């Protein structure tokens, strides 16, 4: 379990590289790394140089923090994230969120690529996460609670901040971007779901399923960071269409939607 002093060491290291004070954080999912390249006057800090950071090996992800300006806002972007399925502990997966908090981040945008479970959605749609279902039987807050970081028993009735969600949906309207809304189910991966599992997930009340986001969202909420999640529905979840699912499809769709996603995020940040 990371201690407050570990977070402080990572923060000190980052602050040696930049005097920028980020107030908005963003975690970039599969194929969305290019957002970080839009940040101006940016500093790039590879994860493996930062004290206590793990090193991600996921295909399609870079592995660095990028701190720079988006309009008048100072943003810290995670280009690449740590996934539970890679074998990282949830403490490692969520450590960067603790670091963002200590750096002064007040609002966090978590993005991901995921599968559409709701059959009225289509590949390439974006989805604002309204709530989540944790299917993993794990939780990043299991273990001793550090009261300096947050409460022991966390209220999760509004993990995804309502006020910020309204801003995102207003921005989507203004930009004429179709923005679905729905519940995200967290699946450990690395296998995709079986068709039977997808039917189960639908019955349970989820609209989309993916392998990330929920641990980071829980820790952001625990830290008092206002959080939103936006998914790129890269594919119909397994069994909905009569075809196999591969990582290539996920990357291809994320690539196709990239510029729309970048527009939505950029204008959202300007409004935050
Ligand atoms: N399931 C889980 N994770 C995913 C999917 C999916 O269908 N697509 C992209 N990430």
Best residue among 85, 184, 250, 257 to mutate for probing ligand 1's pocket (most ligand atoms within 8 Å of CB) is 250
5 classed as catalytic: no
pLDDT tens digits, residue range 111-126? 999 999 999 999 999 9
Does residue 187's CB lie within 6 angstroms of at least one atom of ligand 1?
yes
Does residue 185's CB lie within 6 angstroms of at least one atom of ligand 1?
no
Structural domains of the chain, ranges and CATH numbers in brackets? 4-271 (3.40.50.1580)
Point out the ligand 1 atom lying closest to the alpha carbon of residue 236: 7
pLDDT mean across residues, the chain: 95
Q: What pLDDT shows up at residue 208?
A: 98
Whole-number Å distance between alpha carbons of 130 and 69: 28
Name the residue with higher pLDDT: 168 or 250. Answer: 168
Place 262 in a pLDDT band, splitting at 50, 70 and 90: very high
Q: Residue range 2-6: average pLDDT?
A: 92
Contact 32, 117 (CB under 8 A): no
Best residue among 32, 210, 231 to mutate for probing ligand 1's pocket (most ligand atoms within 8 Å of CB) is 210
160 classed as catalytic: no
Q: What pLDDT shows up at residue 143?
A: 95
Distance of CA 8 from the midpoint of ligand 1 (Å):
34
Q: What pLDDT shows up at residue 244?
A: 87
Place 110 in a pLDDT band, splitting at 50, 70 and 90: very high
* Chain center to CA of 101: 15
Distance of CA 103 from the midpoint of ligand 1 (Å):
31
Whole-number Å distance between alpha carbons of 234 and 262: 15
Strand pairing report for 126-134 and 107-116: unpaired
pLDDT tens digits, residue range 48-106? 999 999 976 655 557 999 999 999 999 999 999 999 999 999 999 999 999 999 999 99
pLDDT of residue 33 exceeding 90: no
pLDDT tens digits, residue range 135-160? 999 999 999 999 999 999 999 999 99
Best residue among 192, 196, 249, 255 to mutate for probing ligand 1's pocket (most ligand atoms within 8 Å of CB) is 192
Place 1 in a pLDDT band, splitting at 50, 70 and 90: confident
Distance of CA 164 from the midpoint of ligand 1 (Å):
25
Q: What is the DSSP string of the chain?
A: ---HHHHHHHHHHHHHH------EEEEE-TT-THHHHT-EEEEEEEGGGSTT------TT---EEEEEEETTEEEEEEES---GGGT--HHHHHHHHHHHHHHT--EEEEEEEEEE-STT--TT-EEEEEEEEE-SS--TT-S---TTT--SS---TTSB-HHHHHHHHHHHHHTT--EEEEEEEE---SS---HHHHHHHHHHT-SEEESSSHHHHHHHHHHT-EEEEEEEEEEEPTTSSSS---HHHHHHHHHHHHHHHHHHHHHHHHH-
Q: What is the model's pTM?
A: 0.97
């Amino acid at each position: 379990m990371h201690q407050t002093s570990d977070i402080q060491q990572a923060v000190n290291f980052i602050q040696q590289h930049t005097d920028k004070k980020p107030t908005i954080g963003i975690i970039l999912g599969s194929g969305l790394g290019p957002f970080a390249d839009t940040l101006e006057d940016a500093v790039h800090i590879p994860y493996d140089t930062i004290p206590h950071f793990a090193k991600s090996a996921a295909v399609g992800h870079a592995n660095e923090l990028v701190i720079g300006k988006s309009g008048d806002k100072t943003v810290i972007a995670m280009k690449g994230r740590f996934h539970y399925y890679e074998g990282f502990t949830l403490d490692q997966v969520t450590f960067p969120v603790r670091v963002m908090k200590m750096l002064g981040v007040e609002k966090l945008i978590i993005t991901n690529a995921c599968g559409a479970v709701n059959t009225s959605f289509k590949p390439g749609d974006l989805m604002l996460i309204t709530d989540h279902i944790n299917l993993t039987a794990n939780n990043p807050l299991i273990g001793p609670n550090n009261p300096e970081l947050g409460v022991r028993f966390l209220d999760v009735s509004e993990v995804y901040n309502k006020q910020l969600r309204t801003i995102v949906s207003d921005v989507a309207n203004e930009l004429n971007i179709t923005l679905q809304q729905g519940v995200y189910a967290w699946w450990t991966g690395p296998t995709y779901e079986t068709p039977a599992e997808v039917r189960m997930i639908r019955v349970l009340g989820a609209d989309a399923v993916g392998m990330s986001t929920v641990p980071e969202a829980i820790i952001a909420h625990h830290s008092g960071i206002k959080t939103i999640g936006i998914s790129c529905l890269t594919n119909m979840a397994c069994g909905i269409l009569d075809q196999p699912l591969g990582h290539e499809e996920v990357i291809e769709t994320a690539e196709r939607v990239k510029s729309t996603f970048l527009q939505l995020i950029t204008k959202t940040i300007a409004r935050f």
